[in-house]
Every structure is written in structure tokens, then in C-alpha cells.
Amino acid sequence: MDVKEEDKSEKSKQNHIKYYKSLTKTIESIREEEKDEEDPIIKNHLEKRIEAMEKDKVRIKEMFPDITDD
């Protein structure tokens, strides 16, 4: 399997910052939805989505350590 080299250019950084911030907002939205959900299967699905997004945030943070959650 080919391993793609990470693009750490300034343009890539700006795109990743936008994506990182959108992930933060999406996670907040899903957490709100999760509070109102009673079905355990749906709650589990929402939690798995959040976990995947959190992993993506960690990956981005590792690429660009100066990104902040503001």
C-alpha cells in the first residue's frame, strides 16, 4: 500500500484549520443530539462518530501543533 506524504504547506494548514474548526462544531452538535436520544443503538452510533472525529482532530493537531480550539 502506498503511503501518502503529508502536505504541510501553508495552504494545507489553512484548509486543515477550517476542517478542524468544523469538526469541533460538528462534535458539539452531535453531543447535543446525543443528550436527547434515548435509543442505545443510535447513542452508540453517535458516540462512534464523535470518536472518529476526535481521532481526526488529533491527527491534524499532530500535523500542525499550533492549531488551537478557539
pTM beyond 0.95, yes or no:
no
**Please, are residues 13 and 32 in contact by the beta-carbon 8 Å criterion?**
no
- For the chain, the 3-state helix, strand and coil shares in percent, each to the nearest 5, are 75, 0, 25
Average pLDDT for runs of 10 along the chain of length 70: 70 91 95 94 96 95 84
pLDDT of residue 40: 95
Q: Find the angle CA(16)-CA(17)-CA(22) to the nearest 5 degrees.
A: 95
